[in-house]
Amino acid sequence: MATMISNFVRKTRTAFVLANETSRVLCLSNARTNSSFVGADAEGVNPQHPKILITGSLGQLGTGLAQVLRQKYGRNNVIMSDIIKPSQAVKESGPYLFADILEFKTLQEMIVTHDIDWIIHFSALLSAVGENNVPLAMRVNIEGLHNVLELARQYRLKLFVPSTIGAFGPDSPRNPTPDMCIQRPRTIYGVSKVHAELMGEYYYHKYGLDFRSLRFPGVISADTHAGGGTTDYAVAIFHEALKHGTFNCYLRPDTRMPMMYITDCLKSVAQFMEVPDSQMKLRTYNVTAMSFTPEELAEEVKKYVPNFTITYNPDGRQLIADSWPEVFDDQNARSDWGWNHEHDLQAMCKIIFNALMPLYK
Ligand SMILES: NC(=O)c1ccc[n+]([C@@H]2O[C@H](COP(=O)([O-])OP(=O)(O)OC[C@H]3O[C@@H](n4cnc5c(N)ncnc54)[C@H](O)[C@@H]3O)[C@@H](O)[C@H]2O)c1
């Protein structure tokens, strides 16, 4: 309680919150004055040490991003949260809290108690998982987004919500897919991400919310297992190649999709969060690093596992992949704020095999 009061006074936010089980009526005056602490900007946020909350942080991207941001802004300034139990390593790495994205009051309390400045909103059900549980995907991906949007508006937080190649659909140009084009996705995941892009931009224009979004391609990592997306084959293939020398791919050999190594993905978020508003011509940008097919990836894998074989048995994910971009156009991110990837297919495979080979031996 003492911490809450001191945070309340320090930032001179005045909040009168009336909430009940069925409806939330919030009257909140964000009377943030220029902060009294040195180095703070007009919003009272110290740009050197923003306090950051990551939702859904125990997934493929969150744990790595927490490490990157903790190196930049300090261990205790980055709070990881999720609804699952953290590993011992996560517990020892810095603050971790339970937070269900559907519980508005829990999130609100965390923001006030921990004096949060930025939210990185990673909680989501990914494409393949979402198609198998549409009602839950609607709740987590849409209701959850509404909660963070409202909280970010009311407490004047900077908000990052990732989008995806899945925000495009069969009517979008697929090679290349620019930032601005028709978006009619056919998955609940894609629909929820278009909704997030539009709602974030609406809040930006209507309330001045500092909403930022990057559309990621398939993100590939060695050390974390992927969370049920359509591009997951490009993570699983390395483990299967080393464990069994063979891989049964759920996509056709010629299915081209944009991809990115996780280090580049995390770097893009860290860099993008610091881009001055004046440099941003869009609130949502495409970012990518490469595009390849399962067949091309298999050829690269064979350089490390010479007897590797791959079979192809397309399942429901093929339909999703067929409606997504083949090549992503991220020229705007590159020219507006200097986005640049470091890893191509060869560099990525080298890093991943170097990391995994000792483990499987
Ligand atoms: N990984 C990719 O290839 C990729 C590509 C494009 C966009 N993205 C986006 O990046 C974000 C993170 O992706 P990821 O791959 O780490 O996903 P993930 O599925 O690995 O992790 C998502 C996390 O959300 C958590 N979560 C689920 N329900 C929740 C709830 N009710 N409250 C709080 N947390 C909940 C899960 O426990 C999980 O840890 C997602 O928004 C995703 O759409 C990821």
Whether pLDDT at 282 is above 70: yes
CA of 356 to the centre of ligand 1 (A): 23
Residue ranges around ligand 1 (CB below 6 Å)? 55-56, 58-62, 82-84, 100-102, 122-124, 126, 140, 162, 164, 216, 218-219, 227, 229, 231
DSSP H or E run through 181: none
* Nearest CA, atom 12, ligand 1: 122
Q: What is the largest CA-CA distance in the chain?
A: 66
pLDDT, tens digit, for every residue of 186-213? 999 999 999 999 999 999 999 999 999 9
Amino acid at 299: E
Contacts of 151 (CB under 8 A, 6+ apart): 104, 107, 108, 111, 119, 157
pLDDT band at 19 (very low <50, low <70, confident <90, very high): very low
User: Is residue 189 annotated as part of the catalytic site, yes or no?
Assistant: yes
Alpha-carbon distance of 67 to 343, in angstroms, equals: 19
Please identify, by atom number, the ligand 1 atom nearest to the C-alpha of residue 62.
Answer: 16
Mean of pLDDT over the chain: 89
CA distance 11 to 7: 6
Tell me how far the alpha carbon of residue 12 lies from the centroid of ligand 1, in angstroms: 34
Q: Whose CA is nearest to atom 9 of ligand 1?
A: 162
CA distance 288 to 232: 16
226-264: pLDDT as tens digits: 778 899 999 999 999 999 999 999 999 999 999 999 999
Query: 10 Å Cβ neighbour count for 232?
Result: 21
Q: Among 259, 240, 262, 258, which residue's Cα sits nearest to residue 249? A: 240
Tell me which amino acid residue 193 is. Answer: K
Residue 162 has which token pair? 């990732």
Q: Which two tokens stand for residue 246?
A: 């063979």
What is the CA(141)–ligand 1 centre distance, in A? 9
CA 94 to mean position of chain CA atoms? 20
Tell me which H or E stretch contains 104: helix 104-113
Distance, in Å, from the CA atom of 168 to the CA atom of 191, rounded to the nearest integer, reads: 9
Dig out the tokens for 194 from the structure.
């278009």
Task: Record the tokens describing residue 214, joined without a space.
Answer: 């990057």
Q: CA-to-CA distance for 360 and 38, rounded, in angstroms?
A: 51
- Ligand 1 atom with minimal separation from the 140 CA: 31
Locate the ligand 1 atom nearest the alpha carbon of residue 226 and give its number.
Answer: 20
The Å distance, Cα 82 to ligand 1 centre, comes to: 10
Higher-pLDDT residue of 38 and 220 is 220
Q: Which two structure tokens, joined as six digits, stand for 102?
A: 């559907």
User: Is the predicted pLDDT of residue 162 greater than 90, yes or no?
Assistant: yes
> What residue's CA is closest to ligand 1, atom 23?
56
Q: Which of 96, 189, 233, 261 is catalytic?
A: 189
